[in-house]
Homo-oligomer: A and B are copies of this chain.
Amino acid sequence: MEFFFNPKGIAVVGATANKLKGGYAIFRNLVIGFKGGIYPVNPGYKEIDGITCYESVKDVPDPVDLAIVFVPGKNVLKIVKDCALRGIKGVMIEAGGFAESSDQGKAMQAELTAFAHHAGIRLWGPNCMGLVDAVHKKIFSFVSPGIWDELIPGDVSLIVQSGMLSGGFLIHCMSHGIMGISKVCSIGNKMDVDECEILEYLINDPDTKVVGLYLESINHGRKFMEICQSSSKPIVLLTGGKSAGGAAAALSHTASMAVNTAVASGAMAQAGVIEAMDFNQMIDLCRSLSAYPELHTMGEGRIAVLTYTGGAGIISSDFIDQMNLTIANLSISTREKLKTVFPDWMPVSNPIDLWPAVERHGGDVVYKAAVEAVCADPGVDAIFIHAFTGGFFLDFDMAVLADQAKLAGKPVFCWVIGTSDAAKKFKLKALDLKIPVFTELFRAVECIDAVFTRKKNLERVSRTTMETDPFQINETSRQILESRAGILDEYLSKQVLAGCGIPITEEYLAASVQEAGQNAGSLGFPVVMKGLKDGTIHKTETGLVKLGISTENGIKAAFNELQTAMGIKGKILVQQQIQGDLELIAGLIRDPQFGPCVMVGLGGVLTEVLNDFVFGVAPLTHTQALELIDRLKTQKLLNGFRGAGAVDRNALAKILVKLGQLGCEVPMIKEIDINPLMICKGKPVAVDASVILSNQDMT
């Protein structure tokens, strides 16, 4: 990737002297800051702005390892071929009109990709804004020259699939002084170079501390996830196309398919990726995490709120309470210190309302005293300052506060409202001091929470937990898997699961009423009898399940009814009847993006109402399986309710680990569905299950 990020020389194919055209802008933007060779290519010019222009890319002198191409789509293949001949290693194609627009465009894109793979040349784009490196002022983009004076170097890098958005947001952030940027990579249709390669590059890039991504599709889900998982830098992701409507839009825009949201979200959570939901929010999360990528506070988010308005203090408290944060309990010493600036009648509490003190001593004195006090308080992990830029003597010197907090190792976040010019100045100063500032109170608290959530995630990763059982499968299981095909019936499915150590109901096949009676005798009444018919999954709906059989006569009746319902081919299963406290579901799927994935969810009535299920990418460690369970919205139900004991989470995690191992070790398993996975005295037991094999049915 070095020839994209640090090329020695660049050919600009489609450069022009017409200042209204993108071909001029690309050339001009290079002149602004790029230190290597700049070679405009256009047969219509001898020179542009005094720099020699070449007839063909083949004529360009050394050093040249990158071409930026801005010509109509139909001419691109010819140029890429010329680039390959000239020994150029990378081509950045910024124009649109490819796979996002028409079948013809799709064909052109496919041809280009095929040629690139064959010739070993790398292609970036098309349909993108290229690359901007704010730290080294390298602008490989057609975005208007003349705006780059406002470029704020920083340590957040962005990978953006939407071209206009990458340029637009960059300009927005620059002009509003919202965030310093390291690199913005606009990858468009990503026909060759994709988010995975760029993300890997940025994770190793010393100028980048945080990576934010806006993606409309993920090309290689599992690879992407593994890269994120291995990253020591925070990664913030916004994906489009989550709803049916959004997905339709994504399809027409950058030729993307919406990924299965639940699987992708599960994978991202497992990889420690922070998911954003909106553009500005993504930017806000990125800049907050870049300010505080690692925290060394004692606690897990005890916040001191310094406010000038009780109302904002109250709403902040509400938000803090909604998140995984708490309002810090101030120490006696902190209270004493605050009393020195507070009026006598004023009680000290957190949120700390500084207004009456400010009325007496002014903002500078009071904010300094308050920050000093909470910095010294071992019960405070972070400081949330409310500022006002518009009079009332509320001004304070942010630099002094920043120094105090830095010394104490405590993160500071700011909420500001006030007059607009002063607010902008305040924000720029804060940016310089690396203090994140927000105008929306909720957003501020959301970002504080993200910083502490990352701290907790990092700590959890470093904690040792229960060991993961190695994969074992018994001979019976193996034989079933090797000799069968298609949908295994309940009995065989559960034999496979049991053979890997997943608990199942006690059950027997009965060839006759007599055998069924004997089985029931050893199981004890009541029993369940089921008719197993090859290739059928839904037994209840077809009358093949008889519950609560408590007598010999019942067995006889059920046996005959089941046999009649199935015809001679079916088998009859006699099964222990389980009285469960809670129904779960669990399973395994193979996702086209992420490969084998384990699912766990609430079952029974709850399935339909709550849609509460989560996916994890296999293999799962025992710890990851526990975390997967934790991600269920209603996971507190597992702690027991109405006298029912708590679910044995370790036992449940073991089942999930084994399901994942089955998916990874036995490629012929296409799908596993345990429904219900009944919780009985806290222990999960597979009551019904289907294992579906991908090989052809041999019967």
Write out, one digit per residue, whether chain A residues 136-154 have a CB within 8 A of any chain B CB (1) or not (0): 0000000110010000000
Specify which chain B residues have a CB less than 8 angstroms from the CB of A390 in the assembled complex. 147, 168, 171-172, 175
Chain B minimum-CB-distance residue to A643: B541
Who on chain B is nearest to A415 by CB?
Answer: B279
| A window 283-307: CB within 8 A of B | none
Q: Which residue of B lies closest to A633 (CB)?
A: B609
Choose among B100, B168, B349 the residue that contacts A417 (Cβ–Cβ < 8 A): B168
- Tell me if A605 and B317 are in contact (CB < 8 A): no
By a CB distance below 8 angstroms, the chain B residues around A440 are 278, 280-281, 440
Q: Mark A310-324, 1 if CB is under 8 A from B, else 0.
A: 111111111011100
- Known A164-B308, A442-B278; contact A249-B96, beta-carbon cutoff 8 A: no
Known contacts A321-B245, A608-B637, A641-B605; is-contact A165 B278 (Cβ 8 Å): no
- Distance (whole angstroms) from the CB of A681 to the closest CB of chain B: 16
- Among residues 349 to 363 in chain A, which have CB atoms less than 8 Å away from a CB atom of chain B? 349, 351, 353, 355-356
A28 to chain B, nearest CB (A): 14
Instruction: Tell me, rounded to whole Å, the shortest Cβ–Cβ distance linking A145 to chain B.
Output: 10
Q: Is the beta-carbon distance between A345 and B104 smaller than 8 angstroms?
A: yes
Nearest B residue (CB) for A254: B310
The reply on A610 being an interface residue by CB < 8 A is yes
User: Does A391 touch B at the CB level, under 8 Å?
Assistant: yes
Of residues 375 through 432 on chain A, the ones whose CB sits less than 8 Å from some CB of chain B are 388, 390-392, 417-421, 423-424
Is there contact, CB below 8 Å, between B165 and A309?
yes
Pair B419/A310 contact, Cβ less than 8 Å: no
Residues of B within 8 A of A104 (CB): 345
**Interface segment out of the listed A226-234, A236-244, A468-476:** A236-244
A456: interface (CB < 8 Å): no
Report whether B392 and A312 are in contact in the complex, using a CB–CB cutoff of 8 Å: no
Question: Taking the nearest CB of chain B, how far is it from the CB of A342, in angstroms?
Answer: 10
Contact A634 to B605, CB < 8 A, known contacts A104-B345, A175-B390: no
Cα–Cα, bound, A424→B278 (Å): 21
| Interface magnitude class on chain A | 35 or more
Is A223 interfacial (CB 8 A cutoff)? no
Query: Which B residues lie within 8 Å of A318 (CB)?
Result: 240-243, 245-246
Closest CB in chain B relative to A23 CB, distance in Å: 13
Q: A161 contacts B214, CB within 8 Å?
A: no
Decide if A309 touches B246 in the complex (CB within 8 Å).
no
Which B residues are in CB contact (< 8 Å) with A246? 314-315, 317-318, 321
Q: A353 to B253, Cβ gap below 8 A?
A: yes
Q: Residue A388 contacts which of B168, B249, B582 (CB distance < 8 angstroms)?
A: B168
> A175, B419: Cβ atoms under 8 Å?
yes
Tell me which residues across on chain B come within 8 A of A171, comparing CB atoms. 390-391, 417-419
Given known contacts A242-B318, A326-B245, A310 and B253 CB-to-CB distance under 8 angstroms? yes
**A503 sits at the interface (CB 8 A):** no
A560 part of interface (Cβ distance < 8 Å): no
Copies in the complex: 2
Given contacts A242-B318, A634-B609, contact A164 B249 (CB under 8 A): no
A345 in contact with B101 (CB, 8 Å): yes
Closest to A391 in B: B144
Q: Is A327 an interface residue (CB 8 A)?
A: yes
**A647 close to B (CB within 8 Å):** no
Which residue of B is nearest A344, CB measured?
A: B102
A346–B104 Cα distance when bound, in Å, is 12
Contact of A420 among B96, B167, B175 (CB under 8 A): B175
Q: Does A532 contact B (CB under 8 A)?
A: no
Chain B hits for A281, CB < 8 A: 440, 442
Please indicate which of the listed interface residues A315, A423, A637 has the most CB atoms of chain B within 10 Å of its own CB: A315
Least CB distance from A585 to B in Å reads 13
Contact A176/B420 with A144-B391, A245-B321, A309-B168 known, Cβ cut-off 8 Å? yes
CA distance A582 to B608 in the complex (A): 13
Looking at the assembled complex, report how far the CB atom of A379 sits from the nearest CB atom of chain B, in whole angstroms.
15
Q: Are A249 and B417 in contact (CB under 8 A)?
A: no
Contact of A642 with B by CB under 8 A: yes
Q: Is A203 an interface residue (CB 8 A)?
A: no
Residues of B within 8 A of A320 (CB): 243, 245
Within the complex, what minimum Cβ distance (angstroms) separates A430 from chain B?
16
B349 touches A252 (CB 8 A): yes
**Do A253 and B311 contact each other (CB < 8 Å), given the known contacts A96-B356, A345-B101, A442-B277?**
yes
Pick the contact of A162: B165, B278, B279, B312 (CB < 8 A).
Answer: B312
Find chain B residues with CB under 8 A from A388 CB.
164, 168
Question: Shortest CB–CB separation between residue A194 and chain B, in angstroms?
Answer: 16
Q: Are A164 and B241 in contact (CB under 8 A)?
A: no
Bound complex: CA A165 to CA B242 (Å): 37
Residues facing B in A256-295 (CB within 8 A) are 277-281
Contact A311 B420 (CB under 8 A): no
A169 contacts B by Cβ under 8 Å: yes
Assess whether A311 is in contact with B176, with CB atoms less than 8 Å apart. Answer: no
Taking a contact as CB atoms under 8 Å apart, the answer to whether B176 and A315 are in contact is no
- Residue A97 at the chain B interface, CB threshold 8 Å: yes
Task: Decide: A253 near B636, CB < 8 A? Known: A345-B102, A417-B169.
Answer: no
Partner of A608, one of B245, B317, B417, B642: B642
- Nearest B residue to A392, CB-CB: B144
Instruction: Report how far A355 CA is from B165 CA in the complex, Å.
Output: 11
Residues of B contacting A169 with CB < 8 Å?
Answer: 417
Tell me if A248 counts as interface (CB < 8 A to partner B): yes
A347 CB-CB contact with B under 8 Å: yes
Whether the Cβ atoms of B311 and A175 lie closer than 8 Å is: no
State in angstroms the CA–CA spacing of A245 and B301 once bound together.
Answer: 14
- Asked if A441 is at the interface (CB within 8 A of a chain B CB), the reply is yes
Contacts of A641 in B (CB 8 A): 605, 608-609
Q: Nearest 5 A-B pairs (CB), nearest first?
A: A162-B311, A253-B310, A243-B321, A240-B314, A246-B318
Given A160-B311, A243-B318, 10 further pairs, Cβ under 8 A: A147-B391, A162-B312, A168-B308, A168-B390, A171-B390, A175-B423, A245-B317, A246-B315, A249-B316, A250-B314
6 A-B contacts (beta carbon < 8 Å):
A100-B310, A162-B310, A165-B311, A172-B417, A177-B420, A241-B317
